[in-house]
């Protein structure tokens, strides 16, 4: 490891394999696998050489990752800053970097913190990724691996498909458009269940966009059928390479905190449960290598309109049995999933956390739709750029405080999983009081913010340009009660 400078590409190569969480079977990575051919279980990717990384002390890893934060070498600028923990089977020329990763962790505004009785908290703005959501982390890893695979197998073309609540397809289409080289992308969306911004993204990237009536869970089944029976690459989070890329979120939180996670609680919205899986896995990896002393506490958040994971963990351990739920319309639309594909992965890592660090190491809280949208408004009125799913985390923090699960001197890191602009239609619905009843949201009129006219077009037409300027300014003076200098 000492031979590795910040400009060199790392020398280490791992021996990665798919590991089935259902039956423990292992498969080589020279084929694409999504579910276990033996038992139908989901996979994790494991590096069989991982233990050799433990020979490097934690302090040396910290120094290496900190030095790499200043790299001028494109392949290592993004999630592959953590190359040895990411996908150490790809070569520099395989790595796709579109500027993803290294998103800021922004402390709560002073007023927001004061409002919450001094609660330490911050948003990690994963909406500041290139397609404006965290999905880019996973896509960067998945596409880098696809490139490596195509190179090794001398493949000329590859069709990448995904089902999406909007952001997976935006990310897949963006990366496919950039990478080109025979990779094309098809995205399958639930008709009318993605925002106009999210629909515009894959259209703009030139992907083939197909709509299916129903919700995400319906699309997922169609895509699984395609991946099981036809020659396509699946880009949903069933694809374990995506999970791996999303672990970078955990690595970055740790690095942002200068590798000290004492008293940190990380809040993550749960949809298909890929992201929370990746985050738990990432923190556990860092702990195993001695890069951090222990993982932060992890809080999953679900709204009452799509809460299968919360329902599962509500029950005492002996009585737990997973059952999917039928989702209802949700402002946290990107997480509106009733049968999360990665649930077995969540269970796997939650168990590990609980066994090592006790009952509070992993928890799930449930919030209402009203709390979710108002969580977003609260954040954004204090200078944050949270999407509705980030609002879900904000609401989750408030819920955890109410339930006595977190103290004000602990630091809550809330995952703002996308940029607020992707979900801005829900803000409009709140301000205009136009939510259909199924959302169960009653706007507080005091929070509605609308543009106010200064002068009518008719009045403007009747005035000279100079008179118009003065009149418009006077109207503003009257409205704001401005004092003369």
Contact flag: residue 137 with ligand PLP (CB under 6 A) = no
Q: Smaller CB distance to Zn ion: residue 34 or 241?
A: 34
Is residue 212 a contact point for ligand PLP (CB under 6 A)? no
Q: List the one residue out of 19, 18, 1 whose CA is nearest residue 10.
A: 1
Candidates 52-60, 73-81, 150-158, 266-274: pick the segment binding ligand PLP (CB under 6 A). 266-274
HSE of 297 in the Cβ direction (CA atoms, 13 Å)? 20
Residue 274 binds which one of ligand PLP, Zn ion, none, with CB within 5 to 8 A depending on kind?
A: ligand PLP
Pairing of strands 43-47, 16-20: antiparallel
Rounded to the nearest whole angstrom, what is the least distance from the CB of residue 348 to Zn ion in the complex?
13
Q: Which does 275 bind (CB under 5 to 8 A by kind): Zn ion, ligand PLP, none?
A: ligand PLP
Radius of gyration of the chain (CA): 24
Q: Is 119 in the site for ligand PLP (CB under 6 A)?
A: no
Q: Does 36 bind Zn ion (CB under 5 A)?
A: yes
**Beta carbon nearer to Zn ion, 41 or 425:** 41
Q: Interface with ligand PLP includes 389 (CB under 6 A)?
A: yes
With respect to ligand PLP, which residue has the nearer C-beta, 276 or 291? 276
When asked if residue 187 is in the footprint of Zn ion (CB under 5 A), the reply is no
**What are the residues whose beta carbons fall under 8 Å from the beta carbon of 67, sequence distance 6 or more?**
5, 6
* Span from 67-75, 212-220, 248-256, 270-278 in contact with ligand PLP (CB under 6 A): 270-278
Residues 228-257: x where in contact with ligand PLP by CB under 6 A, - otherwise, as a string: ---------x--------------------
Single out the segment in contact with ligand PLP by CB under 6 A; choices: 106-114, 185-193, 211-219, 268-276: 268-276
Among 130, 190, 245, 274, binds ligand PLP (CB under 6 A): 274
Residue of minimal Cβ distance to Zn ion: 36
CB nearer ligand PLP, residue 133 or residue 144: 133
CB 259, CB 62: distance < 8 Å: yes
Interaction partner, residue 330 (ligand PLP, Zn ion, none; CB < 5-8 Å by kind): none
Is residue 103 within the footprint of ligand PLP (CB under 6 A)?
no
Residue 275 as a binder of ligand PLP (CB under 6 A): the answer is: yes
Q: How many residues bind ligand PLP (CB under 6 A)?
A: 19
Q: How far is the CB of 345 from Zn ion (least distance, A)?
A: 13
Please, what is the minimum distance in Å from the beta carbon of residue 344 to Zn ion? 10
Pick from Zn ion, ligand PLP, none: which does 418 bind, CB < 5 to 8 A by kind?
ligand PLP
111 binds Zn ion (CB under 5 A): no
Provide CB contacts within 8 A for 52, sequence distance 6+: none
CA–CA separation, 478 vs 460, rounded Å? 18
Q: How far is the CB of 389 from ligand PLP (least distance, A)?
A: 4
38 lies in the site for Zn ion, by CB under 5 A: yes
Question: Which residues 11-30 are close enough to bind Zn ion by CB under 5 A?
Answer: 20, 22-23, 25
Q: Which does 39 bind (CB under 5 to 8 A by kind): Zn ion, ligand PLP, none?
A: Zn ion
| Min CB(273)–Zn ion separation in Å | 18
Q: How far is the CB of 33 from ligand PLP (least distance, A)?
A: 19
Binding site for ligand PLP (CB under 6 A): 133, 135, 165, 167, 237, 269-276, 334-335, 387, 389, 417-418
């Amino acid at each position: 490891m000492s031979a590795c400078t910040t400009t060199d590409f790392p020398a280490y190569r791992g021996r990665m394999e798919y590991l089935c969480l259902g039956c423990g079977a292992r498969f080589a990575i020279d084929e694409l696998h999504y579910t276990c051919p033996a038992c139908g279980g989901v996979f994790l990717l494991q590096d069989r050489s991982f233990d050799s990384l433990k020979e490097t002390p934690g302090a040396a890893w910290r120094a290496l990752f900190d030095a790499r934060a200043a790299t001028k070498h494109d392949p290592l600028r993004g999630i592959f800053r953590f190359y040895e923990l990411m996908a150490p089977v790809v070569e520099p020329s395989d790595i796709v970097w579109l500027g993803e990763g290294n998103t800021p962790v922004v402390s709560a505004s002073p007023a927001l913190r004061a409002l919450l009785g001094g609660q330490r908290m911050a948003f990690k703005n994963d909406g500041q990724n290139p397609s404006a959501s965290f999905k880019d982390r996973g896509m960067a890893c998945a596409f880098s691996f696809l490139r490596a695979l195509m190179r090794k197998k001398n493949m000329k073309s590859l069709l990448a498909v995904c089902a999406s609540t909007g952001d997976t397809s935006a990310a897949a289409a963006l990366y496919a458009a950039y990478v080109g080289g025979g990779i094309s992308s098809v995205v399958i969306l639930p008709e009318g269940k993605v925002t106009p911004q999210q629909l515009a993204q894959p259209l703009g990237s030139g992907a083939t966009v197909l709509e299916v009536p129903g919700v995400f869970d319906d699309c997922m089944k169609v895509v699984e059928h395609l991946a099981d029976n036809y020659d396509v690459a699946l880009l949903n989070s069933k694809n374990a390479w995506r999970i791996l890329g999303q672990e970078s979120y955990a690595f970055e939180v740790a690095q942002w905190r200068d590798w000290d996670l004492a008293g940190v609680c990380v809040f993550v919205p749960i949809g298909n449960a890929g992201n929370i899986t990746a985050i738990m896995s990432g923190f556990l990896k860092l702990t195993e290598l001695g890069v951090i002393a222990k993982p932060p506490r992890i809080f999953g958040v679900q709204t009452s309109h799509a809460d299968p994971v919360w329902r599962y963990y509500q029950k005492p351990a002996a009585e737990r049995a997973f059952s999917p739920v039928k989702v209802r319309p949700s402002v946290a639309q990107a997480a509106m999933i009733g049968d999360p594909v990665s649930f077995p992965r969540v269970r796997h890592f939650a168990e590990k956390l609980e066994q090592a660090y006790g009952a509070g190491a992993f928890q799930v809280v449930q919030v209402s739709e009203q709390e979710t949208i108002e969580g977003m408004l609260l954040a954004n009125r204090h200078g944050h750029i949270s999407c509705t799913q980030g609002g879900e985390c904000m609401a989750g923090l408030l819920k955890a405080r109410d339930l006595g699960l977190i103290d004000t001197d602990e630091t809550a890191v809330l995952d703002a999983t996308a940029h607020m602009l992707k979900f801005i239609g829900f803000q409009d619905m709140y301000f205009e009081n136009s939510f259909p009843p199924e959302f169960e949201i009653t706007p507080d009129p005091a929070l509605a913010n609308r543009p106010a006219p200064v002068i009518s077009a008719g009045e403007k037409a009747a005035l000279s340009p100079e008179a118009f300027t003065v009149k418009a300014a006077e109207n503003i003076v009257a409205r704001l009660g401005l004092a003369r200098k």
